[in-house]
Amino acid sequence: MAAAITRHYLTLGSGANKRRVHYRRAGTGPALLLVHQSPRSGGEYEELMQRWGAHFTCIAPDTPGFGQSEPLAKAAPDINDYADAIVEFIAALGLERVPAYGFHSGAIILITALKRNPDRFSGIAAGGYGVWTEAEKAAFGANYTPPFLPLPYGEHLVWAWNRILEQAWFFPWYDARNETRMRNAHDDPARVHDIIMEILDAGDSFRHGYAAVLAAPRDIPAPDSTTAPVLITAYDGDPMQAHIDRLGAMPASWSARKVRTPNDQAAASLEFLQTLPTGPRFELKADDHQGFITVSTPAFNGQIHWRRAQSDARDVLQVHGPGEALDCLTISGTAIDLPGHGLSSPWPAAPPTDWAPWGEVIEAARQALGIGTVALPPMPVGDPARLFPDFTPDRFGAYLTRAWAIARARHFFTPWYEGNAAHAVPFALEDIALERLAVECRELVRASAARQLAIALQNKG
């Protein structure tokens, strides 16, 4: 049986260095730390966690500035900053001498962390390890990580889609030549979409994590060093496989080899991790003002994302409108993401169009969070099918710019699809601030049950 995954927040530091870390947890047994690649989040390990959870308590944080973790309070963090952030996280969890797994960027962060904090790790399995030449570092610095800022008509989304798509075709993505083609190229919209959503979560901070690992020096200890064991593997078609030949002399406890497939790479890593001294048992530590609760009703069983403005803000439960999420609200009490919206679980079957199942989830969340009353959103005006068209990812990424245009038009007209003077509504300039539109567009795309919620609210009357 696949291990169940739960999600949590933990706030680290204080003052200017205070930051939120989001992490996933799955399985039982000794702790295993998993560090993701850029520009992903711990979510890229969900399938792996469900399998490896039979052997370990898998803990996968979002690194600073990625997923739902806040960035570091530094304008241009380097690889040491990201390594220290990982150590700060496991220390806050009370973990010592943990085994760890990292892929690409995650491997570089972990190996740097091992060198800086050798007592924190019992060993590391690395899925590839980049050893860049000075010429490569210079080219990466000039081309790989341009700013990613929202633009008025969604032009940044066109760039993001094509940048991620062509990353599957060429390495580096910006160097489109026959010599740089990827062996495992694809044009799968769903796979591209998963990465796009994580870039939209990260915003401009995604490039800082990239820049840090691409500028990182070869950080392998001297051959005569005594160090925890490390296994580096890379599969056929992975650009990092060629870097196996660049590793040079390593400590006796380190090894590296090329494997055939991603499954072979995962299997070799798990086999190695199971030989390491076991880490401590994991005891859950999490914030008390934000997180995820498990809600079970006749129609829904899953996790509901919630946040409080203050630890004692228990008077009103705020509920967002269709196609939105709690990030779209100014939270004065406690707010939740409804199923199929924001970071909450989707409906297990087709989202309901009658109000009762939605009301049951809201009531269960209200009781679980100890809230007094519920503030529902206004009834949506217009035809739900036109208000919330299909945002299934398409081959050319057009669904993204469609969502941006809708997010913008909703501030000018009610309903948004009636773009004429008779349906114009007043708005303030802050309503169309680019940062706000970026959040609204992201949540509109993410909302798999927006149309059904709109119908349910209209049926409720």
Distance CA 315, CA 308 (A): 11
Whole-angstrom Cα Rg for the chain: 23
What's residue 221's pLDDT? Answer: 93
Residue 449 near residue 340, CB atoms below 8 Å: yes
Asked whether the whole model's pTM tops 0.75, one would answer yes
What's residue 282's pLDDT? Answer: 84
What's residue 16's pLDDT? Answer: 82
The pair of structure tokens assigned to 220 is 């392998």
Strand partners, 455: none
Domains and CATH numbers, the chain: 5-147+204-273 (3.40.50.1820), 292-460 (no CATH)
> Could you list the pLDDT tens digit for every one of the 461 residues in the chain?
788 999 999 999 888 889 999 999 999 899 999 999 999 999 999 999 999 999 999 999 999 999 999 999 998 999 999 999 999 999 999 998 999 999 999 999 999 999 999 999 999 999 999 999 999 999 998 899 899 999 999 999 999 999 999 999 999 999 999 999 999 999 999 999 999 999 999 999 989 999 999 999 999 999 999 999 999 999 999 999 999 999 999 999 999 999 999 999 999 999 999 999 987 788 899 999 999 999 999 999 999 999 998 766 678 999 999 999 999 999 999 999 999 999 999 999 999 999 999 999 999 999 999 999 999 999 999 999 999 999 999 999 999 999 999 999 999 999 999 999 999 999 999 999 999 999 999 999 999 999 999 999 999 87
What's residue 313's pLDDT? Answer: 65
Residue 342 near residue 326, CB atoms below 8 Å: yes
**How far is Cα of residue 71 from the mean position of the Cα atoms in its chain?**
13
Closest CA to 378 of 428, 319, 327, 316: 319
What's residue 312's pLDDT? Answer: 65
Closest CA to 303 of 336, 351, 350: 336
Residue 21 near residue 89, CB atoms below 8 Å: yes
